[in-house]
Structure 1
Amino acid sequence: MKATLIPLRRACVAATAATLLLAPAATASAYRSTTAPAPAAPSPSADTTFAQLTPAVAAKLDAAIRRTMTETKVPGVIVGLWAPGKGSYVKTFGVADKATGAPMRTDLNVRIGSETKTFTVTALLQLVDQGKIGLDDPIGTYIAGVPNGDRITLRELAGMRSGLFNYSEDPAFDKALTSDPDHVFTPKQLLDYSFKHPVNFAPDARFEYSNTNLILLGLVIEKITGRPLAEVVNQDVIERAGLHHTLFPTGAEFPAPHAQGYTNQTASGKIENSTNWDPSWAWAAGAVISDLQDLRSWAKTVATGTLLTPATQAQRLMTKPIGIPGDGYGLGIFDIQGWIGHNGSLPGYETLTVYLPEAKATMVILLNTDVTVNGQEPSTLFGTAITSIVTPAHVYPGKKPAVHGR
C-alpha cells in the first residue's frame, strides 16, 4: 500500500487518494483517559530523551491528538506510551462503531496489517537459529518458478530488496479484491499476480516495498516446518512471546471485542465497513490481529530480539537505506529516527508499534480507518504529532519526505 513508511497494500489499500472519512471529532466525552500518575520530577542529570509524562505533557498530547483527529477525520484512536521512570499515557479517543457510537476502548482487537511482517520474519529467523535455513540461501532452493529465484536470497526478501513486483499493485488483483472482499486467495494466486510482471530491478539493487516477498517467506516457513504458517506463528512466535490476545487467523475470524473498521479502498470508492473482509489476500504480509497491551509487549520483544539469538537479532537490525537520511529497513523491521518496529495498514485499520531503545520507550497507536489525508497514512500523522512532544530529538518519521510502499 502506498503509505507513509511501510504499510501493506495500495492498489486498493494504499495511501495515494486523499479521501477524508467523515466522523465526529473527539471531545471530552468521546474518549477515555487512563493516564498513569506521573513519577516525581527527574534530577537535572536525568535522561531527557523521553519527556516526563506529567499532567502538563498529557494535556499537550490530548490537544495534539484531538487536532490530528480533526485533520484526519479518524473515527477512533487508541494511544499508548510507556517509558521507564517517565510514566505512561494510555488513552482512547472517538468511537469504535460509527453506527452505535460505542467508544473506543483499550481492550479492543484490531487488524494490524503489515505489522504481521515482524511476526512472519521472526518465525523465519527462528529457523535460521535452528540451522534449518540460511539467510543467504536463494529462494529458488525452496520455491520453484520465482523470477530471478536463483539470485534472490531470503535476506533480500525480508529486507525488501528483491525487485519482485508487488502483487497488491496489480490491477487484476485490485479488481478481484474490491469486487469480492470475502474472496479467499491462495498464496499461489497472489504470486501469480506478481510473476506475470517483469522484475523491477536486480536483487539488492535498491529498497522497494513488496508484499510478494512475505508470501514467499511464508511458503518457505511452511515447507521447512511441514506446518501451516498460521500454526507456526501462533505457536512458535505468539505463544512463546507470551501474547494472549494476538492471532494469526486461518480465515475471516475476528475475536471480540473489536473495533469496526472503515475504508474507502472499495469498488465504489465510497467508505464502507470492512471489519469482516477476509484477510487471506494479505496472509504472511498482513493477516495478524492484536490489541494494545500485546503490541506494547511485542514492541520490546521484536526490537530487542527476545526470541532470537543475539547474532541473528544483530543481522535483523542491520538496516539499509530506504531513501530518507538516517532511516533504514532491516529484516522485516524498520528504524525510523531511532524508533524500531513497524507500521501496518489494512482496509479499515492502521497501526504503529515502535520501540525507542535509547529511552526503553514504547509507542503504540491503533486506528479504525485507513483513509489517507493528502496521500499520508493517518497513523504517521498521529506518530509525528505525539513524538514531536515526547521525543523531539526522535520525531517519527522526521521532517523528511515519506516513503511510499504497499
Structure 2
Amino acid sequence: MIKIIIIVLLMNIPTIQAQTFNKERIDSLFNLLEIHNQGMGSISVYKEGKEVYKNSIGYLDVKNGIEANEKTKYRIGSITKTFTATLIMQLVDEKKLSLGTFLVDYFPEVSNANKITIEHMLRHRSGLFNLTEDEDFRKWMLVPNTRKEMMNRIVKREVDFQPDEKMTYSNTNYVLLSYIAEEIESKTYAEILESRIIKPLGLKRTGYGKIINTEDNEALSYVRENSEWSLIEKHTDMSVPIGAGAIVSTPTELNVFYTSLFSGKLVSKNSLEKMMDTSLGMGIGLGGEIFFDKQAYGHNGGIDGFQSLTLYVPEDKITISYIGNGIVMSPNNCIVNVLKSYYNKNYKLPEFKEPIQLKTKALDPYLGVYTSDLFPFQITITKEDTVLIADAKDGPKFPLVAYAKDGFKSDRAGATLNFYPTENKMILELNGSKVNFIKKVK
C-alpha cells in the first residue's frame, strides 16, 4: 500500500496518430529488461476489449527456478482500491448507501465521524490518519489482525485535517469502506468481492490474498541487491489492508476488470462519471493523468516489494497493466515505454549503463531548490554521503545515480535529471516530457 505515483506528462508533446501495435518491438523492450536485470513481472495490453500483448519476465520463485507466466498471480497492493470503490458505487447504485452518508452511521467512535462522508473517504479527503504511517506498523502488519484491533488503532488517532480541506492519501479510508461494505452486505469483504466482481466477470486468478503459495503459480517478491535478487521473507497479513490492498491478480485479469468498469458493466453511467471526476485531485478509486495528449485513468500499488500499475485510455480504449515482483525499472516507466512505442514512430529502446561513482564533494554543485512554472512541485536536491537525492515537495522522494557528466537518473521513478551548474538550471525528463527548472539562488 503506497501513495499514488504522480505521473506528469505536459501538453507540449505533439499528438501522434496511433500505430499498429508492434509486438516485436515490445518483446525487445522486455527482453532488454530481463537481460539487464531491470525487473521481474508480467504485463498485459488490451485494445478495445481484446488482449493484443502479454509477456512475463523473470521468476516467481528464484531459488527453485520457477519462471513467471501469463497466469502467475501477484499481490496488486493499492489497485485493490479501484475494486473497493467499484463495490461501494454498486451499493450506491442500489440505494443501500449514498455518497453523502456520514461515517457516524457506522463507526461513531472515529474522530470527526459526524463530518466525514463516504465520498470524503473515497476521494481521500477525510483527514483520517494513514494507518500505514503508524510507528509500529512494521510490527503488527505481519500478523493476523481482527477488526476490533484495527478499529482500536483508528479510533485512538485524531484527524490530520478537517474533511474536504484537502486531499491526502490515506489507506485508513479504504479499510473503513471495506468494513462498511461488510456491515451492509453481512458478508466478508472476500465474499462481496467474489459475488459482485469475480464471478460476474469470470475471473479465475483474482481474489482476496492469502499466504503466498508458489505451487498455485503465485509469485514471491524480491529486491535486487548487488546484482542479485534477494527474497523478501516477511509479508503483510491480508487482514491489515483488506479493501485498501489485499487483492491478488494477474495483469490480464486486471485489464478485464478495468475494461469492464469503463464499458459500463459494473456501475451505472452516473457512478462511473463520478469515479472519473478528478477535479478535486483524486477520483473515486482512480487517478487521472495526461499521456501524450490523451486522458488516462488508473491506479498503482505497492506492497511487500510488489509494485503494480493499471491504466485505461478511454480515447483509444487501451488498458495496460504491469505487476512486478522484482522492481528496478518502475511499472510506471515500463508502461510509459509501451505507450511511447504505441504512439511514437521514433521510439528507441532504453539504454542501461553502469552508474558512475562520484565522491561526495563532487555532488555539491547540484544541491539546492529548483522550481518551474510548468511543474506542480519544487524539487529539492540533497545528498546522503555519495548519493544524490531528489525530493519533490508533496511528491515523491528518490535517490539518483550518475550516468554521465552532470547527468543523473532514477529507474524506479522513471526520471532523468540533467544539471547545468554554471547556468543554475536543471532539466527533468519524466515520462517523455522535458521540463526546465531554475535553481533558487540565495
TM-score by length of structure 2 reads 0.68
State whether structure 2 residue 96 is matched by structure 1 residue 166.
no
Question: Which residue in 2 is equivalent to 1:28?
Answer: none
Instruction: Pick from 134, 139, 142 the counterpart of residue 106 of structure 2.
Output: 142
* Structure-1 residue corresponding to 2:264: 305
Measured at CA, do residues 146 and 272 of structure 1 come closer, stay the same or move farther in structure 2, by a change above 3 Å?
A: same
Equivalent residues of 1:274, 1:347 under 8 A apart: no
Could you give the per-residue CA deviations for residues 319-351 of structure 1, whole angstroms, max 9, x where no partner exists?
A: 1343xxxxxx21111222222222111113222
Asked if the contact 1:339–1:355 (Cα under 8 Å) also holds between the matched residues in 2, the reply is yes
Residue aligning to 1:365: 322
**8 A Cα contact 1:167 1:191, kept in partner:** no
Q: Which has the larger radius of gyration?
A: 2
Q: CA deviation at 1:384?
A: 2.5
Instruction: After superposition, give the CA deviation of every residue in 1:105-146 in whole Å (9 maximum; x if it has no partner).
Output: 111111111111111111111111111111011111111211
- Residue 119 (str. 1) matches residue 83 (str. 2): yes
Aligned to 1:320: 279
SS of the residue corresponding to residue 243 of structure 1 reads coil
SS at match of 1:91: strand
Structure 1: unaligned runs, 5 residues or longer? 7-46, 265-269, 323-328
The equivalent of 1:52 in structure 2 is 20
Q: Which amino acid aligns with 2:330?
A: P
* Alignment map for 1:267-346 (pairs within 5 Å): 271-274=230-233, 277-322=236-281, 329-337=282-290, 338-346=295-303
After superposition, the Cα gap between the structure-2 partners of 1:273 and 1:229, relative to the gap in structure 1 and judged at 3 Å, is: same
In the superposition, relative to structure 1, how do residues 130 and 198 fare at CA in structure 2: closer, same or farther (>3 Å)? same
What TM-score does the superposition give when structure 1 sets the normalisation length? 0.74
Query: Alpha-carbon deviation of 1:188?
Result: 3.5
Q: Are positions 1:202 and 2:162 aligned together? A: yes
Aligned to 1:190: 150
Q: Deviations over 1:143-191 (max 9, x none)?
A: 12111111111001011111111001111122333xxx3x101233334
Q: Is the 8 A contact 1:261 1:275 kept in 2?
A: no
More divergent stretch after superposition (359-368 vs 64-73):
64-73
In the alignment, structure 2 segments of 5+ residues that lack a partner are 7-14, 346-373, 378-391, 398-442
Residues 1:175 and 2:143 aligned together: no
Q: CA deviation at 1:90?
A: 1.6
Residue 366 of structure 1 aligns to which amino acid in structure 2?
A: I
Question: Which of the residues 35, 46, 60 maps onto 1:82?
Answer: 46
> Once the 2 structures are TM-superposed, how far is the Cα of residue 196 of structure 1 from its aligned partner?
3.2
1:67, distance to aligned residue in structure 2 (A): 5.3
Deviation at 1:361, TM superposition (A): 0.8
CA gap of 1:243–1:293, structure 2 versus 1, over 3 A, is: same
- Between Structure 1 and Structure 2, the one with more strand by share is 2
Q: Quick one: which amino acid aligns to residue 175 of structure 2?
A: I
Deviation string 1:65-110 (CA, Å, 9 cap, x unpaired) is: 4555677742x12122232499822222222222123222111111
Higher RCO by CA contacts (8 Å cutoff, separation 6 or greater): 1
Distance change in 2, residues 1:198/1:87 (3 Å): closer
Cα contact 1:114–1:345 (8 A) shared by 2: yes
Counterpart-to-counterpart distance in 2, 1:404 and 1:132: 38
Give the percent of matched residue pairs that are identical in Structure 1 and Structure 2: 27
Alpha-carbon distance between aligned partners in 2 of 1:112 and 1:85, rounded to the nearest angstrom: 21
2: CA distance between counterparts of 1:135 and 1:368?
36
Task: Measure, in 1, the Cα distance between the counterparts of 2:263 and 2:337.
Answer: 25
Distance in 2 of aligned mates of 1:83 and 1:160: 31
